[in-house]
Amino acid sequence: MSTDQSPAPETSVPTCYRHPSRETYVRCTRCDRFICPECMRDAAVGHQCVECVAEGNRGARKAVPRTVLGARGPAAAVPVVTYTLIGACVAVYLAELASWRVVWDFMMLGRGVLPGGEVGGVAEGEWYRLFTTMFLHQRGGSFGITHILFNMWALWAVGPALEQVLGRWRFLALYVLSGLGGSVLLYLVGSPQDSAVGASGAIFGLFGAYFVIGRRLGGPVGPIVVLLVINLVITFSVPGISWQGHVGGLAVGAALAAAYAYAPEARRRLFHLGAPLAVLVLLAVLVMLRTAELSPAV
């Protein structure tokens, strides 16, 4: 009697690399192999296989573990960029409390008359406002301190996981470009006199990126969808909120995350460098076109 086992039937359904008889759609966030529940180890975003966890624990310099998106695992374990951004926003908020001038000089403004009587804004050559506004937050008014508290909580909640899977420079580019996307959309479709402050555009960009990357890695995305829906409802139902900043940040964040997550492995570095640069150039061109439109005819 033969003791040879018959080969397993071919199937198009992916199976665990360690247990070929078990179907699964979840991939390891480091090596990208399919893993079943028994082989899964929880990670910041998605799961890792037992071999990658063991490799990471050994900490061998000659084989530095990387995430599916190319980030160095151990190097991004401490979310330095996330904590730095939170610290910067808090420091700027304290400066705001000391002087209203900080808000007027650095908030997003297309073109308007400032308290001193001078005309200022992006259309007047103050392009830095597109960037600096993402570090400002409302002091007093209808939201008060809850504005910065919610944004910093959201950054603390989703920032470390994204920074670990993306790496520091990709995460920083995602945050800054999402914030710029919100400012640019407000500049394009809003009134020149419209002003705005807050990191909300960048935060919405992180929400969008978390959803895209979570889908790519097979992780749970239900909670972030619920959070997004709630915040979008608030955005369009509460007066005084810049929907342009939120939607612009969300669109840029999701698009950039898609370029990060679905870049061909052979050209991953090219895509990861080229995508942020392409987004930056596009935003700059849109700003220049809008500025030319607002410039008075000579």
Q: How many domains does the chain have?
A: 2
Q: Which residue has the higher pLDDT, 261 or 71?
A: 261
Q: Which residue among 200, 242, 272, 295 is the active-site one? A: 200
Do 102 and 47 lie in a common domain? no
3-class secondary-structure state, position 201: helix
64 is a domain residue = no
Decide if 179 contacts 222 (C-beta within 8 A).
no
97 and 240 fall within a common domain: yes
| Helix (H) or strand (E) segment spanning residue 238 | none
Residues 119 and 185 in one domain: yes
83-127 pLDDT tens trace? 999 999 999 999 999 988 899 999 999 998 888 778 889 999 999
**Bridge partner list, 196:** 108
Is 200 designated active site?
yes
- pLDDT over 90 at 135, yes or no: yes
Q: What residue numbers bound the domain in which 20 lies?
A: 14-54
Q: Is residue 135 part of a domain?
A: yes
Taking only the tens place, the pLDDT of each residue in 33-62 is 888 888 888 776 678 888 888 777 765 444
Q: Which of 137, 147, 246, 272 is catalytic?
A: 246
Same domain, 150 and 272: yes
Banded model confidence at residue 190, pLDDT cuts 50, 70, 90: confident
User: Is 137 known to be catalytic?
Assistant: no
Q: What is the CATH number of the domain that holds 124?
A: 1.20.1540.10
Report in angstroms the alpha-carbon separations of 296 from 91, 111, 286, 291: 37, 12, 18, 10
Is residue 73 in some structural domain? no
Residues 131 and 18 in one domain: no
Sequential DSSP letters for 26-66? -BBTTT--B--GGG-EE-SSSEE-HHHHHHHHHT-GGG--B
One domain for residues 18 and 128: no
Confidence of residue 288 (pLDDT cuts 50, 70, 90): very high
**Same domain? 181 vs 33:** no
Average pLDDT over residues 199-219: 92
Same domain, 94 and 229: yes
| Pair (99, 168) in one structural domain | yes
**Alpha carbon distance 280, 133 (integer Å):** 17
Do both 101 and 238 map to the same domain? yes
User: Which distant-in-sequence residues (6+ apart) come within 8 Å of 199 by Cβ?
Assistant: 85, 89, 134, 135, 137, 151, 155, 179
Instruction: Give the mean pLDDT of the chain.
Output: 86
> Is the same domain home to 125 and 172?
yes
Mean pLDDT, range 13-28, rounded to an integer:
86
Neighbours of 172 (CB within 10 A): 18
